[in-house]
Amino acid sequence: MRPRAAMPIVLASTSLCLGLGLAASPGGSPQEPPRVQGKVEQKPQARPHGAPVVVDPATVRIDDGDTVVIRWGEGDEETVRILGIDTPETRHEEHSIPYDQSFGPEGRAFAQGAFAVASDVKLIRAAMLDPYGRTLGYLILDGKNYSVLVIKAGLSDETVSFYGDNGLPAMAAEVKSAAKGRPPLAFEPPHAFRKRMRSVSDWQKSPHPNPAR
């Protein structure tokens, strides 16, 4: 997911600046967000937050393992960067991710399956948007924290330890507990992969001399 690009309910601006990248996401790493006096500009969440909001499962579109898009109505779509997790990236050339990361497609497939079988979906939003204007929140599927499910499946890094609980301590604690004692992840940390892919993308877009004949 983007920068899936990361990344909070009550997070300091500086924490958000460090790279909710997340985040990916739409997934991947979006364009550099606007800055105010050297800091990433964050905005408060205008939609209801802090309490569960019922979501029709049919309106959820999966971008990657940690980013979904909810269609509330005509012309009203909400991109949600799911809190507590950072799954392997999928290809998003528009966000300088020219290749899938190992286990990225598997992470997306896991999300697609989890949401496809869920009959009861709820969204709990954080109080602030991420630096790219996406909603930050947890998604609860049939009473289970999706972030916990993907952590237990070995398809996500845990990000609460770095970004804090975003003002949602109970769900953040579930994520940290799920990550304890698990085997090492089978993939490169997504934030490191995003950084490498940006360099690759920059090289691909730069002019190159014709090879010697």
Measure the CA–CA gap between 138 and 5, rounded to whole angstroms.
16
Percent of the chain with pLDDT over 70: 77
Domains and CATH numbers, the chain: 13-202 (2.40.50.90)
SS3 94: helix
Enter the pTM of the model.
0.77
Cβ contact 140:146 at 8 Å: yes
Measure the CA–CA gap between 108 and 120, rounded to whole angstroms.
20
pLDDT in tens, 58-85: 999 999 999 999 999 999 999 999 999 9
Cβ contact 112:104 at 8 Å: no
Tokens of 145: 């924290």
Measure the CA–CA gap between 186 and 211, rounded to whole angstroms.
37
Eight-class DSSP state of 197 = H
pLDDT in tens, 122-166: 999 999 999 999 999 999 999 999 999 999 999 999 999 999 999
Measure the CA–CA gap between 87 and 189, rounded to whole angstroms.
9
Alpha helices in 20-159 (DSSP H): 104-117, 146-152
